[in-house]
């Protein structure tokens, strides 16, 4: 009987701890949560990569767009499934 009581108390304490940790707690004035952005910092809702070609014609993929070239913006959050895209070169004969 005591083992069941210990199990029930353990489950109640574990559930209470999980509930407590899931709550949003107020922070003292002037402090912010470590995972929150700095005030005034702009957060990109959808981070992207940029695809472009350099002077030698080599394909480059960077996190920042080039200043003096054409580029294509690529979303990092791709939809589920397979998506194939290429340079537009037809390899079929």
Mean pLDDT of the chain: 77
| Cα→Cα distances 91→12, 52, 57, 82, 86, Å | 64, 22, 19, 19, 11
What is the reported pTM?
0.37
- pLDDT, one tens digit per residue, over 64-85 is 999 988 999 988 776 667 777 7
Closest CA to 44 of 76, 78, 70, 79: 76
- Cα–Cα distance for residue pair 21/17, rounded to 1 Å: 6
* Residue 31 DSSP symbol: -
């Amino acid at each position: 009987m005591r083992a069941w009581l210990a199990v029930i108390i353990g489950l109640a304490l574990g559930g209470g701890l999980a509930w407590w940790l899931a709550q949003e707690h107020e922070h003292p004035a002037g402090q912010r949560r470590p995972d929150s952005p700095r005030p005034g910092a702009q957060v990109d809702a959808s981070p992207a990569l940029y695809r472009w070609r350099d002077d030698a014609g080599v394909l480059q993929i960077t996190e920042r767009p080039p200043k003096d070239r054409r580029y294509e913006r690529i979303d990092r959050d791709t939809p589920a499934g397979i998506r194939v895209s290429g340079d537009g070169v037809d390899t079929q004969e």
